[in-house]
Copies of this chain bind each other. A is one copy, B any other.
Amino acid sequence: MDITKFVQLSLGRWRSQRSAHHLAFAHFEQVISTIDIVPLASDDADVIALCKSYEIAPELATDPFRMTWEGESDWEEEEISQGTTILVPIPDPNEPQKGKLLRDRGYAETIPSVGNYQINEEGVFSLLTPYDRAMAEEKIWFCGDNVRFRVSLIKTSAGSGVVTASFSSEIRSLNEKKS
């Protein structure tokens, strides 16, 4: 599994079932959402702009993509959570299983972020993203071509305490296009 294969497997529409555990209060949150992941061209203007904002040469980017989600949480029933973000992998030239992942809007804070990813020999993609006041740690792996799992931890910025842990089960939707 390399980053190209990982992104290719990720492309498409996913039905996501997510549970968040707010650890201090043993509180549960449940979200059902639809996630669309579509490839972007390497010369896409937004991809180039994102690379430049981190002073990274755009030709180092590989397999950029856009992720769009729309979900309903049982916690804030009135609110439909939705968003879109561009993600740009920048593989490490010396260690192709590692690299940086640029995104124009993060999970934990609504600002751009850059994380460090690594893909292990079991095919688990791990991503560590430091934010100003928090640290996000994600693990994503596939189970066959049509099921993927995602564990996201939000830690205090020192990395010592886990604040929120969430788990997503994602199933590829046969209905690829939104009606």
Is the CB–CB distance between B153 and A167 below 8 Å? no
User: In this assembly, does A116 line the interface, its C-beta being within 8 Å of a C-beta of chain B?
Assistant: no
- Please give the distance in Å from A167's CB to the nearest CB on chain B: 3
User: In this assembly, does A169 line the interface, its C-beta being within 8 Å of a C-beta of chain B?
Assistant: yes
Is the CB–CB distance between A171 and B17 below 8 Å? no
CB contacts (< 8 Å) of A169 on chain B: these are: 21, 23, 162, 165
Known contacts being A120-B120, A143-B162, is A28 close to B23, with CB within 8 Å? no
Known contacts being A17-B28, A28-B30, A122-B120, is A143 close to B149, with CB within 8 Å? no
Chain A contact-residue range equals 20 to 34
User: In this assembly, does A32 line the interface, its C-beta being within 8 Å of a C-beta of chain B?
Assistant: yes
Tell me the complex Cα distance, A122–B124, Å: 11
Is the CB–CB distance between B122 and A23 below 8 Å? no
- Please give the distance in Å from A157's CB to the nearest CB on chain B: 15
CB contacts (< 8 Å) of A126 on chain B: these are: 122
- Please give the distance in Å from A9's CB to the nearest CB on chain B: 15
CB-nearest residue of chain B to A137? B143
User: In this assembly, does A15 line the interface, its C-beta being within 8 Å of a C-beta of chain B?
Assistant: yes
CB-nearest residue of chain B to A144? B160
CB contacts (< 8 Å) of A149 on chain B: these are: 151, 153, 165
CB contacts (< 8 Å) of A165 on chain B: these are: 149, 167, 169
User: In this assembly, does A26 line the interface, its C-beta being within 8 Å of a C-beta of chain B?
Assistant: yes
Which residue numbers of A lie inside 8 Å of B, CB to CB?
Answer: 15, 17, 19, 21, 23, 26, 28, 30, 32, 120-122, 124, 126, 143-144, 147, 149, 151, 153, 155, 160, 162, 165, 167, 169, 171
Q: Ordered nearest first, which 5 A-B pairs have the shortest CB separation?
A: A167-B167, A19-B19, A21-B169, A165-B169, A17-B21
